[in-house]
Amino acid sequence: MNKNFYIFRHGESTFNLAGRVQGCTDMSVLTAKGRRQAADTAEILKNRNIEIIISSPLKRAVETGNIVAEKIHVPLNIDRRFTEVNIGIIEGLLYDEVLEKYGELYNRWRNADCEDETFCFPGGESKQTVRKRIFEALNHYAEQTDYRNIAVSGHGIILKQSLKALGTEIDDIPNGSVIHLQYNNAHWQTDGIIYH
Sorted by where each begins, the domain ranges of the chain are 3-195
- Residues with Cβ within 8 Å of 104's Cβ and at least 6 positions away in sequence, in order, are none
pLDDT at residue 112 above 70? no
Of residues 107 and 111, more confidently modeled = 107
Q: If you write DSSP's letter for every residue of 10-50 in order, what string do you get?
A: PPPBHHHHHTB--TT-----B-HHHHHHHHHHHHHHTTTT-
Residue 152 β-bridge partners: 7, 54
State the chain's mean pLDDT as an integer.
94
Q: Which of 33-47, 107-121, 127-141 has the lowest mean pLDDT?
A: 107-121
Q: Are 69 and 76 in contact (CB under 8 A)?
A: yes
- On whether the CB atoms of residues 175 and 34 are closer than 8 A, the answer is yes
Do the bridges between strand 3-9 and strand 149-154 make them parallel or antiparallel, or are there none, so unpaired? parallel
Give the pLDDT band (50/70/90) at residue 69. very high
Is the pLDDT score of 27 beyond 70?
yes
Architecture of domain 3-195: 3-Layer(aba) Sandwich (3.40)
3-state SS assignment for residue 110: helix
State what percent of residues in the chain have pLDDT above 70. Answer: 98
Q: Which of 10, 12, 91, 125 is catalytic?
A: 10
> Which band of pLDDT confidence, cut at 50, 70 and 90, is reported for residue 77?
very high
Given 12, 63, 84, 125, which residue is catalytic?
84
Is 10 part of the annotated catalytic residue set?
Answer: yes
**31: pLDDT strictly greater than 80:** yes
| 171: three-class secondary structure by DSSP | coil
pLDDT > 90? residue 101:
yes
β-pairing, 178-184 vs 52-55, is: unpaired
pTM of the model: 0.95
CA separation for the pair 180, 196 (Å, rounded): 12
